[in-house]
């Protein structure tokens, strides 16, 4: 889902869509597309706002002139980066659904209903997971057995849990839970667990049916979490899975900067030099 206006990133989001903002040497959306590709995904539907399609398409399409220039100048490392992006486009087909008004994440997902006839993954652009096994693959492993909607969960300390949606769960295995309910931003004392909801899901066609019938909230929005609550009340099974890996958030400038630093310090080309630089400027202080 990339239909958001990116208001927390103003004024830069006036010029650059939030999902195309870089995390070191590639934009946020590329991290998600790589996760999708490495999870075996063959088709991606972007849910966009009116007028946003061009920027994403321009980034993903092949650039013969650029490649020729890089070959002529013997910029092999840069050529490799460009060709890796093209590999994603070769392995995944893309289509677009338009969310004309910002009426909630559930409403955004619902716009893709005509293009999706089977279970699918849902990516929230703000959430990137650095893991050996891609986040979506981790959910898919459990989904193959359960055949029920899946919610990605991450254990957080008490002092952070109140900033997130939190799952009320019944433990099934060490990492898989039956979800009994979802609570939005509870106090640390009232949180039903220490498992926060991460922006990665697998949903079934039945979820689309429920989204279509879901009553909007007081803001007039259709919210996926509210729809899951409705399904649970109707006796439907929703499963949660505690995800392995580092959850990096990009919902506002501060957390985007944190994520940028995390990936920069891990980067095979820039990481060690950046660590030395940080030590140097710390001495200056």
Q: Which tens digit of pLDDT belongs to each residue from 25-63?
A: 999 999 999 999 999 999 999 999 887 778 888 888 888
Residues 220, 226, 231, 233: what is their CA dihedral angle, to the nearest 10 degrees?
-110
The answer to whether residues 129 and 35 touch, using CB atoms and an 8 Å cutoff, is: yes
Instruction: Tell me which residue of 204, 262, 276, 213 sits closest to 237, measured CA to CA.
Output: 204
**Do β-strands 43-48 and 93-98 pair in parallel, antiparallel, or remain unpaired?**
parallel
pTM of the entire structure?
A: 0.93
The structural domains of the chain, ordered by start, are 7-268 (3.90.550.10)
**Cα–Cα distance measured from residue 83 to residue 63, given in angstroms and rounded to the nearest whole number:** 9
Q: What integer pLDDT is reported at residue 41 of this predicted model?
A: 96
Phi, psi of 204 (to 5 degrees): -110, 165
Cis peptide before 114 (omega within 30 of 0): no
Q: What integer pLDDT is reported at residue 57 of this predicted model?
A: 84
**Cα–Cα distance measured from residue 187 to residue 199, given in angstroms and rounded to the nearest whole number:** 20
Q: What integer pLDDT is reported at residue 5 of this predicted model?
A: 79
pLDDT in tens, 80-112: 888 888 899 899 999 999 999 999 999 999 999
Residues with pLDDT less than 70, the chain: 284-285
Three-state secondary-structure class, residue 45: strand
**Cα–Cα distance measured from residue 213 to residue 100, given in angstroms and rounded to the nearest whole number:** 19
Q: What integer pLDDT is reported at residue 285 of this predicted model?
A: 59
């Amino acid at each position: 889902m990339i239909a958001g206006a990116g208001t927390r990133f103003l004024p830069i989001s006036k010029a650059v869509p939030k999902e195309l903002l870089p995390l070191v040497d590639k934009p946020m959306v590329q991290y998600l597309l790589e996760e999708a590709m490495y999870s075996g995904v063959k088709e991606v539907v972007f849910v966009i706002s009116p007028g946003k399609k061009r920027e994403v398409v321009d980034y993903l399409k092949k650039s013969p002139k650029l490649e020729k220039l890089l070959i002529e100048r013997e910029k092999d490392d840069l050529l490799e980066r460009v060709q890796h992006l093209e590999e994603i486009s070769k392995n995944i087909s893309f289509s677009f659904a338009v969310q004309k008004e910002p009426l909630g994440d559930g409403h955004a997902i619902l716009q893709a209903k005509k293009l999706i006839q089977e279970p699918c993954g849902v990516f929230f652009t703000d959430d990137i997971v650095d893991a050996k096994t891609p986040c979506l693959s981790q959910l898919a492993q459990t989904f193959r057995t359960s055949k029920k909607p899946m919610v990605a969960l991450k254990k957080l300390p008490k002092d952070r849990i109140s900033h997130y949606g939190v799952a009320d769960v019944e433990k099934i295995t060490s990492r898989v839970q039956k979800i009994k309910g979802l609570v939005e931003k509870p106090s640390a004392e009232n949180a039903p667990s220490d498992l926060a909801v991460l922006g990665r899901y697998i949903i079934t066609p039945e979820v689309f049916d429920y989204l279509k019938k879901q009553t909007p909230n007081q803001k007039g929005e259709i919210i996926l979490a509210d729809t899951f609550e409705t399904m649970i009340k109707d006796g439907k099974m929703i499963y949660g899975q505690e995800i392995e890996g580092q959850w990096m958030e990009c919902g506002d400038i501060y957390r985007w900067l944190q994520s940028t630093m995390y990936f920069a310090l891990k980067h095979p080309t820039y990481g060690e030099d950046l660590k030395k630089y940080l030590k140097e400027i710390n001495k200056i202080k």
